[in-house]
Chains A and B, each alone.
Chain A
Amino acid sequence: MSQPVILYPNKPEKVYLFGTCLVDLFYPEAGLAGVDLLEREGIEVIYPQDQTCCGQPAYTSGRSDEARAVAKTQLDLFPEDWPVVVPSGSCAGMMRHQYPKLFEGTEDADRALKLARRVWDLADFLVNVCQIQLTDTGEPTTIALHTSCSSRREMGVADSGPALLRQLNNVTLVEPAKVAECCGFGGSFAVRHADISGAMATDKVAALTQTGCDRFLSTDCGCLMNLAGVAKKQKMALPGEHLLSFLWHRSQPNREA
C-alpha cells in the first residue's frame, strides 16, 4: 500500500504528553519545552505520572512478551479521547505503528488500535495541528537538523522540523550530506554491533560538522545521545540539542532584555 495521507485532528483543548523514558532520564528539558510550547498555544497538557516506557527496547530485541506487558500498562493512562503527543519520533512510531501489531489477536487489540490513532509526534503536532507561528528572538545562528529514521520513514513527518525552523528569521538551516541516512543508533544495535554503529555515527558527525553549523538538532533522544556522544569523545565543537528545547528558547519574547 502507498503511504496513507495523514488526517490531522482539529486543535484540541487538552493533550496528553507521553514523555518517553529517554527524555525522562536524559533530556527532561526537551519534554518541558514541549509542554511550554503547547501551553503557549493554549493547550492544556496532562502528564500521567504513571507512564514509564513505550516498550520499544524489548520490542526491537524480539522480546514481545515483555514489550507487551510494559506497553499494556501504558494503554490505561490515556482514558479521555485527547491526542497523545510524544517528543520523540521512534517512541511515537512504536505507539502509532507497532502497538497495533504488538497487540494483534490479544484482548487489548482494540484499545491499542484506538490509542495508536491518537498518537502524534510533538513537533509535527505543533506544525500541522496547532499551526504554530514562531517569532525568533535569538541571535543569528546556523543550524543542521538530523531527522531520525522513525520520524522520516515510519512517521512520515520529516518536513515538520524544517517547517518549524524556517519560521525563525535568524536561523540559517543547513543540510548535511546524505541527510536521510541513519545515524547508527538503533537501540541495542549500538551495543551489539558497536563497530558498525560507531562507523555510522562517526560518518554522521563528520557530515554534520562539514556543514559548518553552530549546533545540530534532533527530535529523537537516541540520535541526539548517539551523535553528541561521538562529538564529545572526539572533542569536536558540535553541540547537540533537542529541537523542542531550541524552539522554546529562541521564541520567548524579550529573552535578551
Chain B
Amino acid sequence: MPQTLQQSHNSAINFQPQVKSALANTQLRGNFDRAMTGLMHKRTMAFADWDLEALRDLGQAIRQQSLRQLPDLLEQLERQCQANGIQVHWARDGDEACQVVTEICQQRQAKTVIKGKSMVTEEMELNAHLEQRGYTVLESDLGEYIVQMAKETPSHIIMPAIHKNTAEIAELMHTMTGVEQREDAHYLTDQARQQLREKFMQADVGISGVNFAVADSGTLCLVENEGNGRLTTTTPPCHIAVTGIEKVVPSLTDVAPLLSLLTRSATGQSITTYVNMISRPRQPDEKDGPEAVHLVLVDNGRSDIYQDEELAETLQCIRCGACMNHCPVYTRIGGHAYGTTYPGPIGQVLMPQLLGLEQTPDFASASSLCGSCGEVCPVRIPLPSLLLRLRREAVDGDRTRASTVPGHGSKRSNLESLIWAVWRLVHRRPGLYRLTTRLASQLRALSPKRLGGWTRYRSAPKLAKTTLHSAMNNRSKRQQP
C-alpha cells in the first residue's frame, strides 16, 4: 500500500527503503508505467504540428526575462492587484503563509474552506495547518479529493492520484462515501462531482493556486479541466490565491506561449477545458464572483535560490510535470517514494535547495543522467546539469564557502575522498595506469564475482585478456618493425 507521507522535514528522507517497497509493488509500477506511457504519447501528438524547439526557446526566454526582472515585476504585480482591488500579502516561508491564510479565514469567520489544486499549499502543508485550527478543508480537484480521502499526499504535481487505478479508487470511494463500488471512471466522477457541488455552496473561503501572475495587469491565470477551479474562485464569498513568487510574468502576451507549452507538455491538451483569468473581486454591477480576493505571495526559499545564477534556473519551472512523465526513475518508483512535495527530476533539483542536502541525501544521485527531463522541459531548464551541480555541492570540500544550497559538503566522506585520490593518481600517471590495467587483465581470473549492488542484478563484467593499450602497442610494432 502506498504510505501516507507527511514527512517531518527535520530528519533525512528515507529514500532507499521507500524505493525498495515501491519497486516491489507491481500494481503501483503498472499504474505508473501505463499512465506515464500514455502521457508521453499525448505530449508527442500535441506538439506534432508545432515547431516545438522554437516554442521552447520562446518559453525559456520569457521565463528567464521574468526572473531577471523578478523584484520589479513583483512590485508591479502588487501595485496592479491592489489597484484592481485584490489584497496582496507576502509570506517569507510556509508557516507565515499558513498564518496569513488563517487570519483571513478568521476575519471572515469562516468554517469551511474549499480548495482547488495547488502545489504551493502542499509545500506549506496548509491543509494540516487549517484542520488543526478547526477548519473543515475540502479538496475539490478530483485527484486531490481522492488523495485527501485516502489520507495521502499527491504522487504527481499534475495528477495527484495517478498512483491509483480505477479499481482502487472505486474501492476507496465505496468505503469512504458509500457509493456503489463500480470500476467505471464516469460513474465515479459523477458521484464525486455531486458530492462536491453541495460543498461549494457551503464554503466560506475558496483557496486556489496560480499558474501565471501577470504583473502589468494584475491578472491571475489558473488552468484546470474540471471546472472546480472556477467554482473555487467564484462561488465562495472570499477567494485566496496562493502562489510562489517565481510565477510572475511581465504581461498577458507572455501568457499565451507559456500556456501552449504548459498544457501540451502536461496532458497533451491544446488547451485546458477552463482557463480562468482573475483580475478583481465582484464589482457592484456584477452578479457573481467573490466579494474579496487575496493574493498570497510565498517565498519559502525561493529568493535564496534566486541568488545563485545557475541554480536560479530552477525557478523557471512552470510545473507541467513533463520531466516526471518522461523520467525512467520516477516512472518506476512513483511520486511517493521521494517523500517530498515535488517528486521526479524537478523535485530532485528543487527539494535539496529547499530542505537542504542533509535532508535529501539521495536526490541528486538518483538519476542516470539520461537527459530525458532536460529534453522535454518546455522552458529548457537544464535539469541534468543542475543535478550535477547539486552533486558537486554535496561533496564540496569547503563547507565554509558561501553557498545558497543548505548542507553543501554534507556528503563528503573521507573514504570516498581517498578512493578519488587514488583514482586521480592512477589516471594522471600514464605509466602507472598502463601497469595497473595490464596487471588487472593478466590477473582477470581473480576479479571478484560479486560487486555490491551491481551483481544483485547482473553478472560481474569480465576483463579482456589484453588491454587496448597493449593491443595497439603490438599493432604499431607489427606495422613498423
Residues of A whose CB lies within 8 Å of any CB of B are 1-3, 17, 19, 21, 23-29, 31-32, 35, 47, 49-53, 55, 57-66, 69-70, 73, 101, 149-150, 152-154, 178, 180-182, 184-203, 225-226, 229-230, 232-233
Contacts and interface: CB of A to CB of B under 8 A. Distances in A.
Query: Which DSSP category, helix, strand, loop or mixed, fits chain B's interface?
Result: helix
A52 B368 contact: no
Contacts of A153: 370-372, 374-375
B34 interface: no
Contacts of B458: 198, 201, 226, 229-230, 232-233
A191 to B, nearest CB: 5
Nearest to B374: A153
B98 to A, nearest CB: 34
A49 B475 CA distance: 12
B424 A184 contact: no
Nearest to A59: B388
A70 B427 contact: yes
A195 B463 contact: no
Contacts of A29: 464
B333 interface: yes
Interface residues of B, number: 70
A2 B460 CA distance: 40
A194 B457 contact: yes
Contacts of B421: 66
Nearest to A224: B461
A62 B433 CA distance: 22
Contacts of B467: 24-25, 28
B420 A28 contact: no
Interface string B408-434: 000000000000110110111010011
A185 B332 contact: no
A256 B187 CA distance: 67
Interface stretch (B74-82, B178-186, B314-322, B389-397): B389-397
Given A26-B463, A58-B420, A52 B427 contact: yes
A150 B372 CA distance: 11
Contacts of A26: 461-464
B97 to A, nearest CB: 33
B448 interface: no
Given A63-B395, A66-B421, A232-B458, A24 B453 contact: no
B103 interface: no
A193 B427 contact: no
Interface string B216-240: 0000000000000000000000000
B14 interface: no
Contacts of A50: 430
B19 A196 contact: yes
Given A25-B441, A66-B424, A186 B454 contact: no
Contacts of B12: none
Nearest to A71: B427
Q: Which of A101, A196, A202 has the most B CB atoms < 10 Å from its CB? A: A196
